[in-house]
Amino acid sequence: MKRSSTLILLLVPLVSGCITLDTDVPIRQCPHGDRRPIAATLPDGCRSEVEAALASETAFDGFVAMQGDQVLMRWGDVTTPTNVASVRKSIISLLYGIAQERGLVDVDATLAELAIDDAAQPLTALERQATVRDLLQARSGIYLETLGEPSSWRAVKPERGSFEPGERFYYNNWDFNALGTIFEQTTGLTLELAFEEWLAEPLGMQTYCPSHVTYEDASFTEHAMYRFYLSADDLALIGALVLARGDWEGEQLVPESWIDETTARVSDASVAREGLYYTHYGYLWWVDEEGRVWADGSGPQFVVIDPEADLVTVFRNQTGNSVPGRLWHGLAQDEADDSLVTNSVASRIHDRLETCR
């Protein structure tokens, strides 16, 4: 489904050595209910220690920790909606679970059955046998040019036709972008409105507006790249919902079986790229060796869901609210930000919060 976003591209002059970039995503907020209360269970000494680590070790911009539906801690900028980058993939996994439960999507349908192709680079008969489930697991076997794919990914992408659908895990933006097309064509709902109705409203999100989902098109593929812009506060609610296995205040928003299936260890992640922090991949969620479930986006930014500790932590960095903002972020970003080191820092902060709360 082709889209075009209205982009306001305004560069504000250099001020005190920093460039400020206006946004194509309205920063207005659309509260859905009351803000979650902060639980008074975190010792001041622990709070200070975590804040110091957040500010110094990796210089995150925002942090939220939740236990159940209670907020343990909020630090930094937690209310500004910014690009969640690849965390978008974990979000759409939840939408697919709801859509399947409502009979709007069959995750075992093939691309051929759904009439899904890619006009500029048509799929082969074998590629069209990939199922929606294959795409959710990043096992489609479809290795085509796609949006949002950095050169480092292209360098290790398998040759087209080298693997059959379902045969091999490869973290593949073609799969993820096509899932947006499939969702909208099969459900008749846009991603932004499905997210609004199915998740933002019942979870009581404070900042999300439908205008905070945008789409980018390209001539070489018919599958747009969708972006979600969410605040740390709202991302924490997503994590808390997964921690509660889809139940929110007595209402099963996402089927429990879907949460269990999609956050299980489906694929060995080490076959994708060297140096990954995670051991396994589920359906658009990462799983580490401790059994914690992660959503991971460039920035870096993380949602860490820890069932054993009954804890959710969200780490955010300002990743841009506009096309020039995203470009500036990409140019200024230290390559080490998305490395094993950054994951380890987030993990260590998470662990410290767990032990001292």
Residue bearing the bigger pLDDT, 81 or 18: 81
What is the domain extent for residue 134? 11-356
Q: How far apart are CA 111 and CA 134, in angstroms?
A: 10
For residue 5, being part of any structural domain is answered with no
For residue 2, being part of any structural domain is answered with no
Which pLDDT band holds residue 23 (cuts at 50, 70, 90)? very low
- Planar angle of CA 65, 66, 70, nearest 5 degrees: 135
Which pLDDT band holds residue 150 (cuts at 50, 70, 90)? confident
pLDDT over 80 at 57, yes or no: no
For 313-341, what is each residue's pLDDT tens digit?
Answer: 999 988 765 544 444 444 444 443 455 67
pTM for the model stands at 0.89
Cα dihedral across residues 3, 82, 340, 134: positive or negative = negative
For residue 71, being part of any structural domain is answered with yes
Residue at token pair 């074998």: 126
Structurally, how many domains does the chain consist of? 1
For 164-176, what is each residue's pLDDT tens digit?
Answer: 999 999 999 999 9
pLDDT over 50 at 50, yes or no: yes
- Mean pLDDT on 116-122: 95
For residue 4, being part of any structural domain is answered with no
For residue 1, being part of any structural domain is answered with no
For residue 3, being part of any structural domain is answered with no
- pLDDT at position 145, please? 94
Q: What is the CATH number of the domain that holds 266?
A: 3.40.710.10
